[in-house]
Structure 1
């Protein structure tokens, strides 16, 4: 755990989903390989399956941006079909019960809620995916609300978090996430940012500007107690 500035106890915490609460690769990678197998069967993509690193490195972006990185040579039809397949295959994977939250997520969220902290999710993912992950792991009821780019049609995480703050009447909050988009969303909305340095999907500069870095999710409870 590293602190770059003094933290003030917030009334709320806003969490990213992938790479923050949820070990995304546990559902994403099986779905990813099935997706490309189907695209090839349907004749929509004929090149070799792109390296896993491409999609893991683009987590946190909007799906439209992800497919441009993952398959820059793909057609618009292939990318649209990939959108449909990814959601379908990930929801199937969640139902199979082989996916994981990061260690300590559920207990830590329970503790924070008991202490009176309002909990929210803000994700650039699709609505059914984000809520599906939370429901599958028994944490959906812990959150006051779940905001996703898929549901609200926002083009950046900055706008999504701004919308959340306005609609939920939140005055003080910590933004908690693992990507530069989370840092930007926090800073542009005058929030303290807690960078999650345990997922490892981004590069070394990903969390530059965070007010604190945590190496495991449970450390956020210590940050709150010390604030």
Structure 2
């Protein structure tokens, strides 16, 4: 029987932390140059909400700014992220390509479902050549609700998935699995929170642990 595994991207496959602070600092320096920010770069606050759609990020980080300012900041931040990815400043988590190869050899279909934007995801997939293993990458941008569970539902409907799992580091990934009757596998990585992981069916500390189940 073919198994389907849907992976989150940030904090699960891609070590976002390596380019996050750099890109966020660039972005807030840009705001400072426009006299639109005076305080320190809110990196800690961003870490707290890591994994939510970017529209929610800027509502949280720039609560007193206009929608126009947030949209412009979002665009600039995305440019910086992509430039840093293409410059090789990011990294995949250990064993991503090894576990992908193993899963493909063992009749598993691999998908990515992420709250990241399409251009950002494409940059990662392209730079690390993940499309050698990944059937398709889905962005939250593709659905109006901006809800991870709905995004996973779209993948299930498109590919006729009946059995499988969602692998991710945050509660939105765990809920996306449960609400779509898939196994939830929590990754105890950089952005994970213990109270969220406690709700997953399985918790792993390294992606190679997936071999135990597939």
TM-score higher than 0.5 here?
yes
How big is the shift at 1:123?
0.4
- TM score, norm. by length of structure 1: 0.89
- Check conservation: 2:49, 2:57, Cα contact below 8 A: yes
Give structure 1 stretches of 5+ with no counterpart. 1-8
Work out which of the residue numbers 27, 32, 35 in structure 2 matches 1:40.
Answer: 32
How big is the shift at 1:122?
0.3
Equivalents in 2 of 1:170, 1:203: separation in Å? 29
| Matched ranges for 1:138-149 at <5 A | 138-149=129-140
Match for residue 16 of structure 1?
8
Equivalents in 2 of 1:223, 1:115: separation in Å? 11
Equivalents in 1 of 2:124, 2:144: separation in Å? 20
Q: Secondary structure at the match of 1:182?
A: helix
Equivalents in 2 of 1:54, 1:17: separation in Å? 20
| Matched ranges for 1:148-227 at <5 A | 148-199=139-190, 201-224=191-214
Q: Secondary structure at the match of 1:14?
A: strand
Give structure 2 stretches of 5+ with no counterpart. none
How big is the shift at 1:10?
6.3
Work out which of the residue numbers 47, 50, 54 in structure 2 matches 1:56.
Answer: 47
Work out which of the residue numbers 18, 40, 64 in structure 2 matches 1:26.
Answer: 18
Greater length-normalized contact order (CA 8 Å, ≥ 6 residues apart): 1
Match for residue 101 of structure 2?
110
4+ residue runs over 4 A deviation: none
- Check conservation: 1:31, 1:90, Cα contact below 8 A: yes
CA RMSD of aligned residues (A): 1.5
| Matched ranges for 1:71-110 at <5 A | 71-110=62-101
1:131 aligns with 2:122: yes
Equivalents in 2 of 1:163, 1:42: separation in Å? 40
- Check conservation: 1:57, 1:202, Cα contact below 8 A: no
- TM score, norm. by length of structure 2: 0.94
* Paired residue total: 214
- Check conservation: 1:50, 1:70, Cα contact below 8 A: no
Q: Deviations over 1:85-108 (max 9, x none)?
A: 111111100111121101111111
